[in-house]
Amino acid sequence: MHTFEKIYTVVSSIPEGKVMTYKQVANIAGVKNPRVVGFALRMNKNPTHIPCHRVVGSNGHLTGYAFGGTSVKKSILEKEGIHFSGNEQVDLATSLYISTQ
């Protein structure tokens, strides 16, 4: 399986109302550099099925979002029930998804 496909498979498994960090996705997908995850998500052609808005920085901060920027990303996450501890910082204590993959 191609690296991007592995990343997309992991991201597709994140349930609504939860997030994962780029580092988590990278570890599960077997990618050494979490920046590769960001690059793959920027190239995502199907955000409806590959919910790249559910991937955040390791400290919970929202990072870029190719489909409208971080304000759009935050709005989508809020609609999904994600809790924030700061303006653009996800409360990882309540919203982090721990994958069993």
Residues with a catalytic annotation lie at 52
8 Å CB contact between 81 and 87 = no
Q: How many CA atoms lie less than 13 Å away from 57 in the CB half-sphere? A: 10
